């Protein structure tokens, strides 16, 4: 990791730069939280992604960084993406059950 820089998406100043090979397997798996409305052709969050991040973020980061110390290999690991996706999907299902 290098010191300093800007984030890739929001261009916010940060103290550290983290390779996209570690970021994407975490960022992309929040798709189960999206809901598509065909009538209006809009997409909305089922749940606040920041709230879900607070609930499962540590698991996602731990899972990602335990996969490999090589960000290129980590970012291409299909099983990691699937595993992280399931963590978010499971949390989403738990939250849906609580709504009932």
pLDDT of residue 100: 82
* Residues 53/88, Cβ–Cβ less than 8 Å: no
Distance (Å, rounded) from C-alpha 4 to C-alpha 50? 24
Distance (Å, rounded) from C-alpha 50 to C-alpha 33? 11
Give domain limits for the chain.
Answer: 19-99
When the pLDDT of each residue in the chain is averaged and rounded to a whole number, the result is 91
Distance (Å, rounded) from C-alpha 100 to C-alpha 87? 21
| pLDDT tens for each residue of 27-76 | 999 999 999 999 999 999 999 999 999 999 999 999 999 999 999 999 99
């Amino acid at each position: 990791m290098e010191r300093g820089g800007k984030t890739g998406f929001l261009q916010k100043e940060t103290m550290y730069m983290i390779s996209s090979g570690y970021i994407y397997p975490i960022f992309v798996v929040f798709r189960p939280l999206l809901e598509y409305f065909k009538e209006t052709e809009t997409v909305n969050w089922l749940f606040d992604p920041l709230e879900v991040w607070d609930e499962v973020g540590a698991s996602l980061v731990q899972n990602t960084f335990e996969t490999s110390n090589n960000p290129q290999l980590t970012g291409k690991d299909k099983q990691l993406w699937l595993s992280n996706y399931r963590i978010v999907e499971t949390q989403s299902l738990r939250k849906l059950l609580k709504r009932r």
